Structure 1
Amino acid sequence: MAVQKLTDEAKVLPDFSNDFSWLKDNLTTVRGFLQDADQQSPNNEGVKQWLEKGGTSKDIKERMRYIIEDVNKLKLLREVFPASDVSPSTSHSVERKKSYLLPSVHSVGIESKVDDMLRLLDNNASPIIAVVGMGGIGNSYLLQHVYHNVKERYDKSIWLSFSLSYSISTLQCDIASHLGLGQQNKSEGISHERAAELIHENLKGKRYLVVLDDLWEAREDLLSKLGLLTGDNGYCKILVSTRNREVCTILNAHIYEMQCLLEKESWSLFCFYAFKGGKAPNHQIEEVGRDIVKQCGNLPLAIKMVAASLPKTTMPRDWVRKLHRLKEVIIADDDQILPILRLSYFTLPARLKACFAFLSFFPKVEQINCEYLLYLWIGEGFIPAGEGQWEAAWDCINQLTNLCLLQQWEQYEDGPCCKLVNYCKSHDLLHDLAITISKENKCIFSVEEASKGENSDCCRILLGMKDVNDPPISERRLVWLRTLSLSQNWRITNIPGNLFTAMRGLRVLELSGTRISKLPQSLGKMKLLKILNLNGTKIEKVPECVRHLKSLLFLALPPRCKNLPVWINEVKCLQHLQCKGVTRMPKGISKLVALRTLRSDWLDLSSKGDRFMGPNDFVHMTQLQELSLDVNNEMDSRIEEGILALLVKMRRLTICNSIAKDLELPKKMAAMEDLESLIIWSFAVGSWICDMANLRELELKWCDCSNYPELQTMPSLVRLELSGNDSCKELPKAFGQRGPRRVYTPALPQN
């Protein structure tokens, strides 16, 4: 595929023929060898030395640089190197396969440990309790169980996740967010000391629970710097998970020693992931399986990872081969868990390797929005373009989940439009592995390293949540840079005008959570840029440079940006447009025929001249999957005529009737067979809605829902909210008995 794409492009370049001939002759051979070497044991010294030698070969490197730079100059750089030839698994060939509400994790031996921790919490003599154990033993998992068991007992409950090099400012902001203090310490630019005082004043006299998760190292003044002083009363508890016993000494914490699983528990966990909870198919497989469990050292994470990656056959020789590789890896390193994780990584197909390593893009403390993660993968080129691209991207998430490299769940989010959102997260150790692998592949994570001039060949600079003041990037030619992330660095107020002049290959630019108010015009030269995230910035007007980003797929604007320019239709590849401050769309936006998500404020489509988008413009926007629509006096007839039925690919729809006239939701909307979320305000709703088999989330606000008893027949519904209707006093008793449902009925207004 790579050779064919270069062949097609080379036809228009007479002077490119010599370089292309060399590349064509060598690309297939080298790539084939690399794929073969990649599958060999990571401890094969011969392969390792060859790869290191190849990685430092100046001739190859300079030759490739020369060719790529020429292609760049002629605007012909494309996704010529697909990340994998592996096609999506047919067993997961659906666009979206989601778990139900919370991460589905099988656990053994956790109940007794939770009981132990609850008893310690009831002991007021121990304000700080530290769970200590090696990586992968389940320290954080235990605290998750405890936290969810007891958080309602306290006035305030706060969970803080630490990284190896944590930032006091970032942690203070996280605490302020939990306490409802907003961005006070950000907007005022106050000192660490004053921020700690504000936090302490807010917590004083209250019962609070704080979890410090995965704390690698601590200073004696850590708690005071965070405003967490436990001496105020006997009702404050701090829970810590750590791999370092010295942390317990510094914090003067009571130690709870985390033990490995018992042999019986380890085998039970292994069977769940290797045999889907059943038994081994034969005696030989069981014997090899028990040896594999021993090699995993009774560590839960290692057992899950290895069991999930085992061959799905009943041939003992296939399992013996896996056991031998496992023994080789462990013998080669004194650290038990990390080599096992590396082995699981090295057995992945090339595409999944790239997708997994890119999890390092997100700080460890973050839960990851699956939708955004998929756009990033697509923007980086891990998922080949073309029909079925989104199905292939979701398939990668599902495969990583099945291999225990990811956890998926849905979370109910409050806001102007409540909704279920898909999230995922990786275990702390796996996140560490993703960072390690990324560093080995020319990714930069530290401010100091980004400031140096000798790393001009780096491919990603990831400085999210690093508490930096200005973009710490030296003036150099970053022609290989594909991703730049400066997210959640609120001290950044300005982007230098020449920053992007040498970043011709940039695909992803993440600036959310900074305080920039404008972008330099040099950004407009980024012809390959696909992801631009400006959410949470101080930008009030869409920068003119965006007009020239012809490859842009994803654009997120801050709510303070109230209008879209008329030229927005020139960004023709756009698939995701987030502009929550916008209510009127310019007329030309209907030319964005690839648009999948239009995430705006309530969209007003009334015909007030020819400047703005009207209902008829939906005719061209048939790829739309998300929309919030306000129906006013000049649009009611369009709704009744069924204009919405054109949007057959819709997945999330919020529609509000803001006029006095009674309107009925048109039956033609039943054509939206893929609709998953529907939020309706002040419409009459017919019984036809019960036939929407894929609807998972339904809100009826001040609607005529006299047929509400029939809602219990909807097979996929997991969330229902009814409000503002006096005829609806309670749900039928049978509702929710047909499967796992989360039903929410708020208190009705009193007349």
Structure 2
Amino acid sequence: MAEEVLFNIAGDIIKKLGSGVLQQIGLWWGVNDELEKLKSTLTTIQAVLLDAEEKSALNNQVKLWLGKLKEVVYDADDLLDDFSTEALRRQVMGGNKVSKEVCLFFSPSNRIVYGYKVGHKIKAIRERLDAIAKGRQDYPLDLLERFREAPLLSRGRDQTISYVGEEEVIGREDDRKAIVDLLLHSTTEDNVSVFPIVGMGGLGKTTLAQYVYNDEKVKTHFDLKLGSWILVTTRSEMVAKITGTLPHYPLEGLALDKSWSLFKKIVFKGEEPKSPNVKPIGEQIIKKCGGVPLAIKTIASILYFKETEGEWLRFLQDDLSNIAQNENGILPTLKLSYDHLSPHLKYCFAYCALFPKNYEIDVKTLIHQWIAHGFIELSNKSACIEDSGIEYFMDLCWRSFFQNVKRDGFGNIQSCTMHDLMHDLATLVAGKEISIMNSKEKSVDERVRHLKLDFRLDSSDIIPVVLSIPKKLRSFILPHQEFYDHDAIRIFSNFKQLRVCGMQDCRMTEVSNSIESLKHLRYLDVSKNSEIKALQILLQTYRICKC
């Protein structure tokens, strides 16, 4: 994702290089020495990455240095994945052991030849890293201590978490009464009246509109009266003037006492803190949130895990000291909550920039894609990875990264959306690595690793579009297309690093054999392709409903 996640990616690779499984594989193919050298080089570079990430915001040379480093780190990750996949492939091969060894010895993929090839690839990557490491001598980089990341809720302070549900609105009772009163006593004769609610992002305009809609007085009144009312929420007074048939209602930030009520609901389960010194610090913290409920909730989710006065004071003086809340200033406050996430939760959240704004996300699909990319870290070997994925989702949901969660009749999570400001944050932290391509774009940035096509391709467009896309894609989502089977072959054969491929409702009749060359592919969505008869490939996850 963005440069700041590079530290975590490098850390994951170092962890893989130190694993017993990879060391055994390295011993089998005679490349352990090269793997150890690669680990040493990466460890040296990782030590100064946090400082480099901070300085890259002001120093373009450092930013370029990080960009070069990121490309090599991703290549190293791909190579290790290829390495592990090849080992797994050999484990599951059938046949007599002796005859298999003889066959493999004379094949291009025998262990001596393969080990020789892999050894050269590892060495090439290490030499690229060494060259980049020498380049950092031009920039004085220091060792920095990173944020103390908040644990997952299920592994955190306790198991009784206080959620503020979307149906539970805190601090907006006066606004609700005022709007209801305006609606009930309006003398307008229009058959359809439009009433705008105007305010900055994160104030809860949509939540308030729903709160008004569910008011019993409103329901009773408009059941008895001909004519309709439309509540419009917007940040722009100009939009309100154009669309509204009545003067707009200006929504302000919460007062300090209301802000504190919302804050303590999350941090202290609605009670006052036990220490009398904590509340004054807490009030100073929430003043920085400017009465914006979304900011208050995200900051509260950080403070929930800080138990001492000293931790609260350091958060106020260090983390919040340079943030002033205003119309454009809420994003830095929201980013603080992101900064305190664990590395894997950061991956999961940033990946959501792949979905358009206001998109209803299928949570099961999202979790399977997280799994395919290796974003989910199991708490123990016996844990179910899908259950861990749900834990990750609920954690992000509790921190207000997701909203509007829908469940089925059995209580299972089905879908969710993201607040548009949270989507802005996901886009910010994802940087150039995630892109949604529209029909006006002629090419894609070479740094893109996750891509979604947001338009329908003509068959004549397939080749030029595919050729314009970087070959190192890890995710490619292109739903609702109209492909011939040979079009799919072109796609599968061009992107060898794919982990996730979504070809939903693409009029396909079969899945090409060329997909077998995608060693890294773990998730394939070919749902709503009703002509597909069978799939004969082994993957981690298929999605083939309505086929």
Instruction: Give the TM-score of the pair, scaled to structure 2.
Output: 0.71
**Residue equivalent to 1:133:** 199
Say if 2:426 is the partner of 1:434. Answer: yes
Letter in 2 for 1:402: W
> Is the alpha carbon distance of 1:235 and 1:536 closer, same or farther for their aligned partners in structure 2, counting shifts above 3 Å?
farther
Counterpart for residue 389 of structure 2:
393
SS of residue paired to 2:331: helix
Correspondence list, 1:256-275, <5 A:
256-275=249-268
CA distance in 1, matches of 2:155, 2:74: 39
The answer for the alignment partner of 1:285 in structure 2 is: 278
Identity of aligned residues (%): 24
Query: Aligned pair in 2 of structure 1 residues 531, 309: CA closer, same or farther (>3 Å)?
Result: same
Q: Deviations over 1:270-306 (max 9, x none)?
A: 1112222111222321111111111111111111110
The alignment of Structure 1 onto Structure 2 pairs a total of residues equal to 459
Cα separation, 1, equivalents of 2:484 and 2:182:
46
- Tell whether the 8 Å contact from 1:128 to 1:253 is kept in structure 2 after alignment: yes
Report the 3-state secondary structure (helix = DSSP H, G, I; strand = E; otherwise coil) of the residue aligned with 1:452.
coil
- State the partner residue of 2:543: 556
- On the 8 A contact 2:372/2:500 being kept in 1, the answer is yes
Q: Quote the offset at 1:99 in angstroms.
A: 11
Deviations 1:612-654 (A, max 9, x none): xxxxxxxxxxxxxxxxxxxxxxxxxxxxxxxxxxxxxxxxxxx
**Residue 452, structure 1, aligned to residue 514, structure 2:** no
Q: Report the counterpart of residue 666 of structure 1 in structure 2.
A: none
**Distance in 2 (alpha carbons) for counterparts of 1:99 and 1:270:** 11
State whether structure 2 residue 372 is matched by structure 1 residue 379. yes
Equivalent position amino acid for 1:107 in 2? V
Are the aligned partners of 1:130 and 1:248 in contact in 2 as well (CA < 8 Å)? yes
2:174 is aligned to 112
Counterpart in the other structure of 2:68: 57
> 1:515 Cα deviation (Å)?
4.2
Counterparts of 2:442 and 2:87, CA distance in 1: 27
1:448 positional shift: 5.7
Report the alpha carbon displacement of residue 242 of structure 1 after superposing the two structures with TM.
1.5
**Alpha-carbon separation, structure 2, partners of 1:535 and 1:479:** 24
Residue 93 of structure 1 contacts residue 395 of structure 1 at CA under 8 Å; is this kept in 2?
Answer: no
Q: Distance in 2 between matches of 1:150 and 1:37?
A: 56
Q: Map of 1:648-659 to 2, 5 A cutoff? A: none
1:480 equivalenced with 2:483 (yes/no): no
Alignment CA distance shift 1:86-1:402 (3 Å): closer
> 2 CA distance for matches of 1:99 and 1:468?
47
Hey, what does 1:143 align to over in structure 2? 209
State yes or no: 1:404 paired with 2:393: no
Unaligned residue ranges in structure 1 (runs of 5+) = 79-83, 155-206, 209-232, 562-751
Q: Does residue 1:10 correspond to 2:26, yes or no?
A: yes
Q: CA deviation at 1:424?
A: 3.7
After TM superposition, the structure 1 stretch with the greater mean CA deviation from structure 2, 292-301 or 126-135, is 126-135
Q: Which amino acid aligns with 1:547?
A: Q
- Which of residues 496, 516, 521 is equivalent to 1:504? 496
CA separation in 1, counterparts of 2:219 and 2:482? 36
Shift of 1:404: 2.8
1:269 shift after superposition = 1.0
What SS class does the counterpart of residue 401 from structure 2 fall into? coil
Measure, in 1, the Cα distance between the counterparts of 2:425 and 2:536: 38
1:136 deviates by 0.7
1:276 to 259, 269, 283: 269
Amino acid of the structure 2 residue aligned with 1:135: G
Separation in 1 of the partners of 2:160 and 2:415? 12
Partners of 1:276 and 1:269 in 2: CA distance:
10
Post-superposition Cα deviations, 1:103-152, rounded to whole Å, max 9, x if no partner, equal 45642222332334344555454622222110111112112323445899
> How far 1:262 moved relative to its partner?
1.5
**In 2 relative to 1, CA 43–456 (structure 1 residues): closer, same or farther, beyond 3 Å?**
closer
Alpha carbons of structure 1 residues 46 and 302: separation in structure 2 relative to 1, 3 Å = closer
Could you say what secondary structure the match of 2:407 adopts? strand
Alignment check: 8 A CA contact 1:99 1:410 kept: no
In the alignment, what sits opposite 1:590? none
**Are the equivalent residues in 2 in contact too, given 1:9–1:76 (CA < 8 A)?**
no
Matches within 5 A, 1:13-92: 13-14=29-30, 20-34=35-49, 36-37=50-51, 52-57=63-68, 61=71, 65=75, 68=78, 72=82, 76=86, 91=155
SS in 2 for 1:293: helix
CA distances 1:414-460 after superposition (whole Å, capped 9, x unpaired) = xxxx875444443221122112222x15111132686416x334210
Where 1:445 maps in the other structure, the secondary structure is strand
Amino acid at match of 2:340: T
SS at match of 2:465: coil
**1:537 counterpart = 2:526:** no
Change (3 A) 1:280 1:67: closer
1:247 matched residue in structure 2: 239
In structure 2, the CA distance between the partners of 1:335 and 1:104, relative to structure 1 (3 Å rule), is closer
Tell me if structure 2 keeps the 8 A contact 1:305–1:404: yes
Alignment-mate amino acid for residue 28 of structure 1: T
The one-letter code sitting in structure 1 at the alignment partner of 2:303 is: L
- DSSP-derived class of the 2:207 partner: helix
Determine if contact 2:200/2:327 at 8 Å carries over to the other structure. no
Question: 2:452: which partner in 1?
Answer: 462
**CA 1:496 to 1:150, structure 2 compared with 1: closer, same or farther past 3 Å?**
farther
Structure 1 position 319, deviation (Å):
0.8
Compare the two structures and name the one with the higher helix fraction: 2
Whole-angstrom CA distance in 1 between matches of 2:276 and 2:293: 23
1:26, distance to aligned residue in structure 2 (A): 1.4
Could you say if the C-alpha distance between residues 373 and 419 of structure 1 is closer, same or farther in structure 2, counting changes exceeding 3 Å? same
Letter in 2 for 1:459: R
Q: Partners in 2 of 1:537 and 1:310 — Cα distance?
A: 47
Secondary structure of the 1:269 match is helix
Aligned to 2:347: 354
Greater per-residue strand proportion: 1
Deviations 1:193-226, CA, capped at 9 Å, x for gaps: xxxxxxxxxxxxxx99xxxxxxxxxxxxxxxxxx
SS of the residue corresponding to residue 532 of structure 1 reads strand
Amino acid at match of 2:477: S
Aligned to 1:306: 299
Distance 1:394 1:50, change over 3 A: farther
Matched residues in 1 for 2:178 and 2:419: separation? 24
CA contact (8 A) 1:509 1:531 kept: yes
Matched residue, 1:345 = 338
**Cα distance in 2, alignment partners of residues 517 and 93 from structure 1:** 52
Distance 1:400 1:420, change over 3 A: closer
Shift in Å at residue 44 of structure 1? Answer: 5.8
Cα 1:247–1:363 shift into 2, 3 Å = same
Give the direction of change, closer, same or farther, for the CA distance of 1:397–1:419 in structure 2 (3 Å limit): closer
Q: CA deviation at 1:412?
A: 3.5
Shift of 1:310: 1.0
Corresponding residue for residue 93 of structure 2 = none
Which letter maps to 1:447? N
Distance across 1 between alignment mates of 2:468 and 2:79: 15
Distance change (3 Å), C-alpha of 1:238 and 1:148: same
Q: Which residue of 2 aligns with 1:330?
A: 323
